[in-house]
């Protein structure tokens, strides 16, 4: 009984962490794209040195971490 409650609590915590990471990641991606606009006319170096590059990369990293949070915690069901 106690083990079942712990599993439900842990699953709820994992889902909450996943939603937070993906949500913040999408916000950072949106901010990065807005600050980099217009993207099409820039060279590679202008893109990297642009205003929103760091926010864009941070958002991409957070989104990937949010998607793979179950694998990182080690609770993937077999």
**pLDDT tens sequence across 9-37:** 888 888 999 999 999 999 999 999 998 88
Tell me the C-alpha distance between 40 and 50, whole Å: 13
Distance CA 5, CA 2 (A): 5
Which pTM does this prediction carry?
0.78
Longest dimension (CA), the chain: 61
Quick check: 51 pLDDT over 70?
A: yes
Mean confidence (pLDDT) of the chain: 86
Of residues 41 and 60, more confidence is placed in 60
């Amino acid at each position: 009984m106690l083990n079942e409650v712990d599993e439900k609590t842990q699953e709820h915590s994992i889902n909450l962490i996943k939603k937070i990471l993906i949500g913040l990641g999408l916000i950072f991606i949106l901010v990065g794209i807005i600050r980099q606009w217009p993207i099409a006319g820039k060279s590679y170096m202008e893109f990297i040195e642009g205003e929103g590059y760091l926010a864009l990369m941070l958002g991409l990293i957070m989104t990937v971490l949010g998607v793979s949070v179950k694998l990182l915690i080690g609770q993937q069901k077999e």
